[in-house]
Chains A and B, each alone.
Chain A
Amino acid sequence: MSYILIVGAKSDIAKAVAREYANSGYNIYLAGRKIDTLDAFAKDLTIRYQIEAKLVELDILNFKSHQEIYNSLDKKPVGVITAVGYLGNQELAQKDFNEAKRIIDTNYTGVVSLLNIVANDFEERKEGFIVGISSVAGDRGRKSNYIYGSAKAALTTYLSGLRNRLSSVNVKVLTVKPGFVDTQMTKDLDLPKKLTATPKEVAKDIFNAQQKGKDILYTKWFWRYIMLIIKTIPEWKFKNMSI
């Protein structure tokens, strides 16, 4: 059966996504940095789902390495899902450009570097799908995390352009915009329980949306409406708000 490449595979969301795809019989490449730590997780996939799972060492910030890593995959994936992300520290990022750059490069530049390569391959093969995990934080800039948010906004726009470019060759691109998800990334934040999804819920949503060939997924679903309201607040008003 075909392979799916999951980038940023150590993320809780990515792991849940890997299980969804494995459950449907796909083989899995798990890519990320210090990926050895996923040894046991890969074995888990093979025992549970009787599929193949392989580890791929990949640092999204090491742009130069991406082509070679992609070339080295024996069997080219039929789908690529990227979950890499870095929330970073907004205050620090305002003072120290290194932090700002890391946020931007992890969430945006690095993903562009990799997905460019994938897109070229899929375009040539006239098959495949791409899933990019962006964020509702990219829908509107807020003082609490606008460096992260703007990088995600750029990613969202990139994915939209990619979808436009690849639609003629039948390569589907799904933009995922999670709201709050209970993961390592948010473990220190006090998230409102009712609005917070588990990685498993998000993963199921992603799998279903991708299989149906959807373009944009808000998860959980009500974030589409929450963001609709937030986006319609006029800027003159929004600028004085704290949300």
Chain B
Amino acid sequence: MSKISAWGNYPVIEANLIKYWDSNSLNFEDNKEYIAYGNGRSYGDSALGENIVKVREKDLFLDFDQKSGLLHVQAGVLLSEILEHFVPRGWFLKVTPGTKLITIGGAIASDIHGKNHHIEGCFSECVEEFTILLDSGKIEVCTKESNPDLWRATCGGMGLTGVILDAKIYLKKIKSKYIDQTTIKTANLKETFEAFEEYKDMPYSVAWIDCLAKGDSIGRCLLMVGDFLEDGDLSYNLKKQKSIPFNFPTFALNNLSVKAFNWLYYGKVKERISKQKVDIDTFFYPLDAIGHWNRIYGKNGFTQYQFILPKEQSLKGLEEILYEISASGKGSFLAVLKLYGKANDNWLSFPMEGYSLALDFKIEPGLFELLDKLDEIVLKYGGRIYLTKDVRVSKENFEKGYPNIEKFREYRKEMGFDKRFQSLQSKRVKI
């Protein structure tokens, strides 16, 4: 038994870790439940369970086709490893989240999205096929066409259909490691929305919202949009990471992030619209520059609350929620706001056309009551909660947001997956 947790450091559990295994001889024991664990960058309890199958060690690059950019890798390969070896050759990920330290298995299981969701969709859109271990000795190669049910249940299925072993994904061509970034400073939520609309043809966009703002300035932000340059500079040097060596006392945190935002908002970004040339790591993965930054939340851990609202309801809903958060005095002072494109047809994928907000909360008394309250608002406006960030949502609040949940449940039952694959999260929300 070993201690393990995911990125939020909450909960920390004792589990049986299975690290050395071979897909051909991984014998699942009857009456025992298993869950795959990639690199633990999900925030809550979706990768935690009694018996944890560690996939990170399965990290082989199996094949690469220069012409089409189709890369075949084992499921434990990190996105950062792909970048390290392929950016210098002029290739980049079609879809990438805000950290490069996740595995391919985790990217598929959460059907993750990036700053370009409104253009490229979710991660599954760049997956050609994956291989999955469904039960001892039962391995299936799955494409969207060959087994649509398994596909729709696995992409976004949070590890609840089996252990993904490898996948073929398409990379995209780039001509530079630099991004031509435009930063737009807005004064309130309405302006923020207008700015998103104005720049919606830009491939990449994301906004940092100041959650401290009150009254008329609620929703003020720095919106950053951009696209790759074409200057031919592909040298991609891994930067030395700074690391947070131990858990911070929590008071340190708020001061830090307030200062950071104010520094940017009032100091660095002077004009309403400004231009920067930034590299891949700065643009896509600013937080990865500091290893173990999760420790700044202290030893009790933290969670991230991420929800999405349909477009027509976004302005009203967000106003209400930001007001609620600001009144509670909880939550990080920065939140990430993003515009999303159309939903895909995977049963549990998070994105839908609209706006999503994500912000961190340290675990403390009264927090879950507040988040329950926010759930009510999210659901009232027809939104949903992102499972890969979640550690507390109730079954009722979760399922209201996911119209295909019954299909997912039935499919799991029918295939017997519910007896084999369970996480703490899947038990909580009964999926």
Contact = CB atoms under 8 A, between A and B. Distances in A.
Contact of A40 (B19, B20, B62, B64): B62
Contact of A187 (B20, B62, B63, B85): B20
B60 interface: yes
B19 A47 contact: no
Contacts of A43: 60-63
A41 B85 contact: no
Interface in B50-79: 60-64
Contact of B20 (A47, A49, A184): A184
Contact of B85 (A40, A48, A184): A48
Secondary structure dominating the interface of B? mixed
Contacts of B60: 40-41, 43-44
Secondary structure dominating the interface of A? helix
Interface in A177-220: 184, 187
B20 A48 contact: no
Interface residues of A, number: 9
Most buried by A among B60, B63, B64, B85: B60
Contacts of B63: 43, 47
A187 B54 CA distance: 14
Interface in B8-22: 19-20
Interface residues on B, range: under 10
Contacts, number: 22
A187 B61 contact: no
A44 B19 contact: no
A187 B17 CA distance: 11
B163 to A, nearest CB: 18
Nearest to B88: A50
Contacts of A41: 60
B61 A48 contact: yes
B19 A187 contact: yes
Nearest to A184: B20
A47 B62 CA distance: 8
Interface string B145-187: 0000000000000000000000000000000000000000000
A147 to B, nearest CB: 24
Contacts of B62: 40, 43-44, 47
Interface of A: 40-41, 43-44, 47-49, 184, 187
22 contacts: A40-B60, A40-B62, A41-B60, A43-B60, A43-B61, A43-B62, A43-B63, A44-B60, A44-B61, A44-B62, A47-B61, A47-B62, A47-B63, A47-B64, A47-B85, A48-B61, A48-B81, A48-B85, A49-B85, A184-B20, A187-B19, A187-B20
List the 9 shortest-distance A-B pairs measured between CB atoms, nearest first. Answer: A47-B61, A44-B60, A44-B61, A48-B85, A47-B64, A40-B60, A48-B61, A187-B20, A184-B20
